[in-house]
């Protein structure tokens, strides 16, 4: 029965999306309720699966009862379950915000939202590279529809760039998958990890080239340098709840890089072990630096938040690039923090832009605004979280990353980039807050304004970040156990492959 729980987070959003499509003639209120109930159920499923894997168990589900590596398999370990929970919580509050009226700006919002969750959950649970490609394509189709929801020239232009670049990445993904299958005869990730050590000298270069090509594809999804230029316009141009949900999209790329680095090309891969070791840390530090440069240079809060997402990817992969369980654990602690904080800032920015009228989110002083003190307080809390100031979760995460970097030979570079970019974040966000709120002229709230439903999702995401600080000990213990599990790929291989069925 427990193994059937593994497929439930994939089936539920798929069935919800199909159901919402068939029920489109219903009033929007009913469709909102059904969509929210579906996401609430996904939160419950993610929590249940999370508690089941917390003791280190790895659960698998073989579709059609075909044993791995011959059939499709879904795998739930600590990392996958954690990503499911983060995604479901973020999606719930983004959807609650969208139910205020954003979902009326175009067609099929709730259907696309559920299909986006179907793609995300499938990507986190799949144990097969080809099915990872399939779920990436589902993500691309659904995210393209959500990105364009509401229309407009800016969204169409950003959406075109988004889809063209990602289609190019999908093509390269197929090249890499085809090469690996041609050489190794399998695409099951556990089986790939098992066979990697058996690759002969004649095929070693081809396999490593395919691995680096996969890394390039995942780097594109994660918005790693130099493949990040598509993100600022796409995230800044779409609606607030979609941008908030997209805060977890780059984490799909990060997740895939972690699987590639710790499983397929992990410590058991023979001559190909730690293939990404020389690439990951330098690219992550450059991404962090350039992302923060974009934060400082931004002329509007939406684009600044988009660049903060890029900088967060650099921070995450800097932690992973340290190559230790302590570093990866610090990055995994930072992951939910930055996802929730970025989602909250996207939602908060929408309310700020709406109240400033023609100035919208542009960094121009003397704008008129209702409730500037309340909005300014929420912005201040979010800025403290994102900049990494004590005593909240952003500070704890960066402290853990720097502590893990102490024995690393590139400690000076890690310290310099992380500390300087943190200072730049403080300066940039302080400037943004002072321009937006310090000289804001207080005006009466528009008639019929409902402030509580608007700010409740933002506040809830900030409270989740606060919970990461309050329960930092148990959360860090879980992330440390997760990192240690990732650095022991044999456990994953044994859980997925039936030893008696292997050739």
Q: Give per-residue pLDDT as tens, 5-58.
A: 899 999 999 999 999 999 888 888 899 999 999 999 999 999 999 999 999 889
Q: How many whole angstroms separate alpha carbon 351 and alpha carbon 68?
A: 49
Q: Give the span between the Cα atoms of 339 and 421, in whole angstroms.
A: 18
Q: What is the C-alpha to C-alpha distance for residues 448 and 459, in angstroms, rounded to an integer?
A: 21
* SS3 per residue for 139-153: HHHHHHHHHCCCCCH
> Structure pTM?
0.94
**Residues 288, 314 contacting (CB under 8 angstroms):** yes
How far is the C-alpha of 309 from the C-alpha of 286, rounded, in Å?
A: 14
- From the centroid of its chain, how far is CA 312? 10
Q: What's the pLDDT score for residue 373? A: 87
- Which residues are paired to 74 by β-bridges? 61, 126
Q: Is 224 helix (H, G, I), strand (E, B) or coil?
A: coil
pLDDT at 479: 95
Give the whole-angstrom CA distance, residue 275 versus residue 445. 57
Q: What is the DSSP letter of 300?
A: B
Identify the H or E element spanning 67: none
Which residues are registered as beta bridge partners of 128? 188
- The CA–CA distances, whole Å, from 201 to 162, 197, 277, 304 equal 39, 11, 20, 48
* CB-based contact 208:275 (threshold 8 Å): yes
pLDDT recorded at residue 456 = 94
Dist CA 166 CA 172 (whole Å): 10
Residues 320 and 280: their CA atoms lie apart, in Å, by 8
CA-CA distance, 192 to 262, in Å (whole number)?
12
Alpha-carbon distance of 474 to 433, in angstroms, equals 33
pLDDT less than 70: residues of the chain = 1-2, 151, 445-449, 499-503
Q: Tell me which DSSP letter residue 228 carries.
A: -
pLDDT value at residue 452: 83
Question: Considering only CA atoms, which of 319, 326, 344, 203 is closest in space to residue 271?
Answer: 203
Q: What integer pLDDT is reported at residue 499 of this predicted model?
A: 42
Residue 227: the pLDDT is 87
| Other CB atoms within 10 A of residue 38 CB | 22
Q: How far apart are CA 103 and CA 109, in angstroms?
A: 6
């Amino acid at each position: 029965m427990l193994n059937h729980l593994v497929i439930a987070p994939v089936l539920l959003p798929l069935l919800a999306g199909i159901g919402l499509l068939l029920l489109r003639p219903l009033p929007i209120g009913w469709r909102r309720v059904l969509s929210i109930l579906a996401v609430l159920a996904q939160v419950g499923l993610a929590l249940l699966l999370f508690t089941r894997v917390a003791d280190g168990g790895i659960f698998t589900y073989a579709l059609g009862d075909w044993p791995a590596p011959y059939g499709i398999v879904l795998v739930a370990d600590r990392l996958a379950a954690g990503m499911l929970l983060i995604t479901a919580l973020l999606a719930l509050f983004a959807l609650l915000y969208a139910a205020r009226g954003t979902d009326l700006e175009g067609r099929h919002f709730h259907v696309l939202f559920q299909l986006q969750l179907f793609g995300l959950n499938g990507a986190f649970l799949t144990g097969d590279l080809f099915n990872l490609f399939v779920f990436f394509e589902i993500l691309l189709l659904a995210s393209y529809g959500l990105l364009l929801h509401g229309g407009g020239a800016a969204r169409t232009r950003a959406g075109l760039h988004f889809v063209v670049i990602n289609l190019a990445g999908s093509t390269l993904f197929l090249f890499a998958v085809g090469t690996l299958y041609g050489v190794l005869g399998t695409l099951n990730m556990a089986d790939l990890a098992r066979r990697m050590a058996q690759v002969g000298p004649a095929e070693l270069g081809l396999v490593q080239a395919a691995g680096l090509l996969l890394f390039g594809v995942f780097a594109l999804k994660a918005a790693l340098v130099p493949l990040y230029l598509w993100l600022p316009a796409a995230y800044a141009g779409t609606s607030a709840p979609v941008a908030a949900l997209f805060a977890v999209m780059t984490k799909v790329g990060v997740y895939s890089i972690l699987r590639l680095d710790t499983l397929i090309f992990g410590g058991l891969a023979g001559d190909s072990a730690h293939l990404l070791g020389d690439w990951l840390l330098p690219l992550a530090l450059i991404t962090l630096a350039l992302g923060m440069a974009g934060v400082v240079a931004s002329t509007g809060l939406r684009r600044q938040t988009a660049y903060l997402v890029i900088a967060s990817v650099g921070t995450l992969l800097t932690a992973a690039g340290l190559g230790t369980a302590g570093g990866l654990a610090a990055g995994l602690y930072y992951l939910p923090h930055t996802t929730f904080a970025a989602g909250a800032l996207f939602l908060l920015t929408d309310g700020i832009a709406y109240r400033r009228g023609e100035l919208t989110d542009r960094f121009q002083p003397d704008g008129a605004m209702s409730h500037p003190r309340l909005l300014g307080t929420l912005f201040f809390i979010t800025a403290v979280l994102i900049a990494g100031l004590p005593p909240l979760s952003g500070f704890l995460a960066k402290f853990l990353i720097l502590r893990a970097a102490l024995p690393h030979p590139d400690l000076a570079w890690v310290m310099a980039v992380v500390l300087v970019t943190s200072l730049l974040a403080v300066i940039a966000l302080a400037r943004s807050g002072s321009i937006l709120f310090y000289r804001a002229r207080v005006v009466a709230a528009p008639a019929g304004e409902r402030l509580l439903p608007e700010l409740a999702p933002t506040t809830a995401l900030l409270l989740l970040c606060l919970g990461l600080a309050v329960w930092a000990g148990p959360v860090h213990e879980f992330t440390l156990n997760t990192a240690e599990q990732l650095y022991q790929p044999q456990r994953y291989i044994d859980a997925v492959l039936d030893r008696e069925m292997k050739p």
